[in-house]
Each structure stands twice: as structure tokens, then as C-alpha cells.
Structure 1
């Protein structure tokens, strides 16, 4: 056996300059032509104005006005999205052309995906316990198919559906016992599952289980949500709380929605239990016209719910009030307010709403490192960097 050390492979793939330049031009052209569109996504922050019960009214706890009057002061933000930058696309394709420049076997060829179909195996991520420091890394650029709907997506190694909603251990908070806090956490989980993962809700049905979690004593909240579901408009948009697709146009591919996020809780300013949830849901869909082209819509939601003391406030025992709900939608037609997501496909269809052309800056819909409430109001609608 020779003691001579083996030569190390070159740190960069050997690609002729003319081939590289042509590739860069073609890549930039294709990306600009095919980048999926993203809608305007508005944020709505809601402070529960409930009538006080027994005891004194805490400082800052207002008893009015009604929900409709608060509506004018709620924030409405438009999330900005744009095409992916050329350097990132080049780096991804270089890796695909010469994977030996990466140590190990990052793509785990020959395995099964999380939905039981042939796909690249990725080690399941541990549950998220804090905001990540940045967006997920670039992955092998693969086209999603009916058998592999999460191919080429960072969500491939995310949890499947409700398995990704992991509740923290309950403990007593203020006047509420450990068991009461546990029940409130389960109520929050029930809302998230019914609003974002229930196949009937996704197909446009009324999310009755999610609505049953909410306190009917909270002024105007149930009425507002019912109005948005019955007669959706820009001012009353059910997509701010519920994920819905028009069953006449698209359907889910398989029975898996990828889920990533976290739930935390703490004592609120009004001696209640505030439950904070921040989740991203990835929906693979296909048209119902017989096409086999698969695309994905990515939805991030932040919802703050509060369990209040019925001894101090006029509330329904065991029900939750809504303090805030914000959302961002990735890959859905801009400024269409019919109560459904309208995913963009690379092959156009005259039967689907398109909305205005996007014009916003670049944002990665998989990036969970930034606060959803960050940014100014009236941001322009743009395009997603990836789906």
C-alpha cells in the first residue's frame, strides 16, 4: 500500500468559460420568466376589548370600541416578494452538476419522502423552539411531481401536518392551574389544525371546529370571521385566518401538508395566559383540469390567543380571545379577494384569476427568521424566490 496521499479534488468544478457564460444568461432569463407570483398579504392586529367583570379594570384594558370600529386602525401590510438572485441559482445548479464538491451524501439518493413516495431522504428536523437565525439553505433544484410533491423544497424534512404542532409542557400561570393551561394549549392546537390542515377547510368548507375555540363574548370577532367566510372582500378576507383553495380550480396533491413552527405561552398584561403561535404551512397543489403540473403555496401565520379570567372579565370560560393574527402568502395571485388562494403555475390558464403584475422586492417564503410584523404598511405585491 502506498503512503502517498491521495490528490484532493479541485475546489471548483472545471467548466469552460463559454459554457458558464451561456448558462448564466439562460438561467437569468428562465428565472425571470418563471418566478411564481405572491399576493399582497395583510396583517391584522386585534386587541380584545372585553367588558370587565368583577374587580377593577386594569390600566390599559379598554372596554371598547366594537370590532368594526377597531377595524380602521388595524394594520394592513403587503408582503413583498421577488425573483431569486442569479448568484444563488448558479450556486445551486453547480452543486447539482458536480455534487462531489460537497462532502458526504447531502441528497441521500434512493430513499423515500415524508409522504411515502420515492424522494430524497432528509433527516427530520427537531421541533422548532426559537426563531431560526436565517432562511433554510438552498436545496437540490428539482421539479415537484405527483409522486414527489415536495421535491426541491426546504420543507421536505419538515413534519407532516399536525405532527409539526408540538405543544410546550404546561405549567400554572397566574390564576390558572396547569390543567387549565394545558386545556388552553389544546384549544389553540385545535384552531391551528382545523384552520390550516383540515382537508374540508382547505376545500372551502366552514372551519366550525376552529370557530368553536373562540370566545363569542369578544366583541365582533365571530361576526367578522363569519362575514369573511360568507362574503369575502378585501376588507373581510378569510385567508387572514384560514387556508382555503377553490375546489373547482385546484386540489391538494396527496394528503400531506408540511408544517414548521412553534407555540409558546406566558402571562399576559391582563393576568391571562397569552398563547403565541408562529407556523408555516406548505401546500402542494395541482389543477383539477387533468394537468399533472405541481406547484406549492406557502403560508405563514402568527396568531396570538388569550385565556382570560372569567372572575374579572365578561368572557366564556374555557374559550380563547384573539389578540392578533398576521399572515404572509407565498405563490398566490396578487390582490384577488374571493376567499381562496390562487397558486401560480408555469403553464398559464385563462380560467384562473391572475390579479395585477407583481412589482415587490425579493423575499424567501421559507424564511422564518424575521418577525412577521416587521416592515411598513402598503408594501407592494411581488414574487416569491422559490416554492
Structure 2
């Protein structure tokens, strides 16, 4: 509408001498629009000089039978309605388009959860990879109760990486007599051991962790014998949980497909002409009972510290590409104590006490700022959160 008016105002008037001059389409349109405005106005206004001029010319043409149809009645009803619709859409459409653009860029501005993303997607900000020892435990979060749909609600692990994505290798570089490629091989083999021992679905359901066993140096015969005995006939002296995370599928199932992971891996030139790799990772497992329809969720938190070596086979009796496990430590949060069946047993709030009262200290299983307490295994403690 504004453009039409601007065009009429800026256009030079035609020569109106002579009674036989015809009315141009633009003049007729302007005249009809001005007539409509005058008809709809609450206060009658004097027609402009141009309107009077056009009206007189139309009357002369009408007397000769040459006037365009509809000049006395103005625009037909359909044209007026279409014009009003155009003005309405122009008024409403622009703000709507702007609002849609803003929502597309920032969907979190919408109230509630219209896209079904869940509170996790709206509130959790992924943490960067851990590259050094944390200075403190993670901050407290809202004590939200976990559900099957939101298994990490109320947990610091909500912002941790998913599964293997949390095991980030440091950039490899040559150390001592070892090349960059050899160091990278040691890191990859350590990662393979961690993934198969703590994240592989077969291992988690109580299966045999073949890949993890395969990367361990075959010359470590005592370790292999101990691990095989633990997997085949677990007891207090032979516990597969010392190296592998396992749950009884007859009792438990993972709540969802995600295990949260956080930790770091470092390397140095080790003794005996080796590459020494140090790994420190925490895994958070959301679990529900195996029976159909079970909805209560509990979380088991497992922290593992591994020290491995990649010896030089040219100098020592070693298998190329295999890593030697020198040390492994374990810290389990929220699992039954003094049960040696080879599986983790997280505590559910609706189960009630099933074992003697804890005698150990209260600990935060998410606190990665401290080393694993070697004396903690002497008593069954209490977790401050799960």
C-alpha cells in the first residue's frame, strides 16, 4: 500500500487539456482508492484537487459512454477484502517470521519441553575433556530422582561424555627411545583394554572380555590365570570386578544405552626401556531391575586406575604390541559389599537394608581430585551421592 501511494505522489501529472483525454490505469486506481478511504472515514474530507479533476474527466467520459465500469462504486468487495488480507498478513507475518527464526536458533527459550529433548538437553553443558587432576569434587546438582527416560538426572555425570567418547587419548610424542608411533600404539592398546573391560555390552552382561584379555601381555601368565579363574569361578580371592565391570543380566539391565565416562590418560618414559601409561577413569552405570515393567533406577559408580607398560621386545622378553599390566586399583560406589559372585549389585531405595550397617567412611564417588584410598576396601563405607 505504501509503495503504491509513493508511486502516485512521485509521478508527474498528465496533460488534462481536451475533453477527450482518457484516464490511465494508475489514475483510476488512485481515484478509486481515495474514494474508498473517503467512504470509510469517520469524518468527511474535502476531495483533493487531483480527485476533483479525475472525477470531472470521468463524468465527461460517462456522458459519452466511455467511462470505465465501476468508477462510481469504487473497488469491488473482493478486491477490498484481498487488500485488507494483504495488510493483515504484512502486520502479522513479519513478527511471526522473526519469532520462528529466534526459536530455531535458541529452542531453549520456549517454555517447557515442546520438542521432547528432556531437562538434560536443556540444562546440561558438556564438560571439556579432563587433562589434569581436578582441584575439587564436582559441584552439587539438583537432587533429581533418576528415571528410565532420564537415568542421569541429579548426577554430575549428566555433563560427562558418553561411553568411549570419554576416553580421549593425549597427543602422542616420542619419549626416551620410543617413537611417536610406538607411543601411540601403547595409548591405543590401553584404550582398547579400558573400553572392552568397562563399556562393551558383552562384558557388562557378564560375558567374557576377550578383547581386553587379548591386549594383555601373554607372558604375564600369573595374571591371566588369576583373571580366568575369576571369570570362571568368582570368589573373594578371585574377583573379576578388580578389572572388569559386570552385572548379572538375570537381576539387572542398563537403563538406556549410555554409560557416562570421565577421566584422563598420561604417558612417560618408563623403567626397563618401556612406555609407561597411566589411566584414571570413572564410569557411571544407570541400572534398573531386569523384570519387565521395572522403572526404578539406581546408579553404580566405578573408578579405575591402571598403570601399564609397553616393553621393548628387542631388549626384554615381551610380545610386540601387547601391554603389561603393572598396577590396577578399584573404587566402587553404591554397590553391595562382601558379595563375591563376580557382579556389581547397586542399592535400590525401595529394597531396604539387606546387609549390616556400613562401617567405613562417607565418600563422594564423583570426587576425582583425590587418589583412591588404599585402606577404603577394609570397610564398607557410605556414598554421599549416587
Q: TM-score, normalised by structure 2?
A: 0.68
For residue 297 of structure 1, what is the aligned residue in structure 2? Answer: 300
Q: CA contact under 8 A between 1:168 and 1:264: conserved in structure 2?
A: yes
Distance in 2, matches of 1:116 and 1:271, equals 51
Match of 1:336 in 2: 339
Residue 207 of structure 2 corresponds to residue 205 of structure 1: yes
Deviation at 1:151, TM superposition (A): 0.2
- The CA deviation at 1:116 is 6.2
Number of matched residues? Answer: 275
1:356 Cα deviation after fit: 3.5
User: What residue number does 1:364 align with?
Assistant: 364
Measured after TM superposition, the shift of residue 112 of structure 1 is 11
Give the unaligned 5+ runs of structure 2. 1-109
Largest Rg, 1 or 2: 2
1:216 aligns with 2:218: yes
SS at match of 2:229: helix
Distance 1:240 1:348, change over 3 A: same
Q: What are the within-5 Å matches in structure 2 for residues 125-274 of structure 1?
A: 125-274=127-276
Q: 1:158 to 1:381 in 2, by over 3 A?
A: same
Correspondence list, 1:310-349, <5 A: 310-348=313-351
Question: What SS is found at the alignment partner of 2:257?
Answer: coil
Counterpart-to-counterpart distance in 2, 1:146 and 1:380: 31
Instruction: Choose between structure 1 and 2 for higher RCO, CA contacts under 8 A separated by at least 6 residues.
Output: 1
Q: Residue 253 of structure 2 contacts residue 287 of structure 2 at CA under 8 Å; is this kept in 1? A: yes
> Does structure 2 retain, via aligned residues, the 8 Å contact 1:175–1:309?
no
Note if contact 2:157-2:284 (Cα within 8 Å) is conserved in structure 1.
yes
In the TM superposition, what are the counterparts of 1:42-53 in structure 2 within 5 Å?
none
| 3-state SS, counterpart of residue 225 of structure 1 | helix
Per-residue deviation, residues 281-317 of structure 1 (Å, max 9, x unmatched): 0000000123210010000000111000112211111
**Once the 2 structures are TM-superposed, how far is the Cα of residue 355 of structure 1 from its aligned partner?**
4.2
Residue of 267, 272, 275 corresponding to 2:277: 275
Asked if the contact 1:112/1:118 (under 8 Å) is kept, the reply is no
**Does the CA-based 8 Å contact 2:360-2:376 persist in structure 1?**
no
Contact 1:336 1:355 in 2 (8 A): no
Q: Work out the CA distance in 1 between the residues paired with 2:312 and 2:111.
A: 54
Distance 2:114 2:318 in 1: 49
In structure 2, how many angstroms separate the alpha carbons of the residues matched to 1:333 and 1:283? 15
> 1:121 maps to which residue?
123
- Matched residues in 1 for 2:148 and 2:213: separation? 33
Report 1:40-79 matches (<5 A): none
What secondary structure, in the 3-state scheme, does the structure 2 residue paired with 1:333 have?
coil
Q: Helix, strand or coil for the counterpart of 2:380?
A: coil
CA distance in 1, matches of 2:264, 2:250: 33
Distance across 1 between alignment mates of 2:113 and 2:314? 56
CA distance in 1, matches of 2:285, 2:113: 22
More helix by share: 2
Distance 1:338 1:377, change over 3 A: same
Structure 2 Cα separation of the partners of residues 378 and 304 of structure 1: 19
Separation of aligned partners in 2, 1:193 and 1:168: 16
In structure 2, C-alpha distance between the alignment counterparts of 1:153 and 1:116, rounded to whole Å? 18
Cα deviation code 1:156-192 (max 9, x no counterpart): 0000000000000111122221111111111111111
In structure 1, C-alpha distance between the alignment counterparts of 2:242 and 2:374, rounded to whole Å? 17
Q: Tell me the SS of whatever aligns to 2:184.
A: helix
Distance 1:199 1:299 in 2: 16
SS in 1 for 2:123: coil
Aligned partners of 2:113 and 2:315: how far apart in 1? Answer: 56
1:339 deviation in Å? Answer: 0.2
Structure 1 stretches of at least 4 aligned residues deviating more than 4 Å after TM superposition: 108-113, 115-118
The whole-number CA distance in structure 2 between the counterparts of 1:245 and 1:111 is 34
2: CA distance, partners of 1:275 / 1:141: 37
| DSSP-derived class of the 2:175 partner | coil
Comparing 253-262 with 356-365, greater Cα deviation is found at 356-365
